[in-house]
């Protein structure tokens, strides 16, 4: 478990044709993975509710490398400073790879939680 986890997220707004993030802009942050959706932190005002976004996610440092591609619709946007938290609901995604990613992240989090518990109990 010593390998560092790396998640690289790229989005393309299929409605406007814009890449997210634009060159030189801060990276897209993955905030939460859900069964058929994801919450992402992106630059402000690069999409709107109802826009279709293409997701490309590269996950490294797990038991196996995972590459996930999907299409989703923006269901919710919450502004936070100069960033937006966007809920992307997928209508096309490889469910097996997506669920494997969720499982691997939860497994890794379990290891961290166990380590913290041992440190507290020591």
pTM of the model: 0.84
Residue 51 domain flag:
yes
CATH number of the domain enclosing 81: 2.40.10
How many distinct structural domains can be found in the chain? 1
Asked if the structure places residue 1 within a domain, the reply is no
pLDDT digits (tens, 9 = 90+) for 4-45: 778 899 999 999 999 998 888 888 999 999 999 999 999 998
7, containing H or E segment:
strand 6-13
Query: Which of 2, 11, 120, 9 is closest to 66 using CA atoms?
Result: 9
pLDDT digits (tens, 9 = 90+) for 51-78: 999 999 999 988 889 999 999 999 999 9
């Amino acid at each position: 478990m010593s390998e560092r986890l790396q998640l690289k997220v790229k989005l393309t707004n299929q409605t406007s044709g814009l890449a997210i993030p634009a060159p030189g802009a801060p990276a897209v942050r993955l905030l939460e993975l859900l069964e058929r959706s994801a919450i992402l932190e992106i630059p402000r005002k690069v999409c709107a509710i109802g826009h279709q976004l293409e997701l490309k996610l590269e996950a490294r440092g797990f038991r196996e490398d995972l590459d996930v591609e999907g299409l989703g619709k923006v269901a919710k946007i919450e502004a936070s400073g100069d960033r937006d938290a966007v809920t992307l609901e997928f209508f096309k995604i490889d469910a097996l790879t997506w669920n494997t990613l969720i499982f691997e992240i939860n497994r890794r989090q379990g290891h961290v939680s166990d380590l913290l518990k041992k440190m507290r109990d020591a």
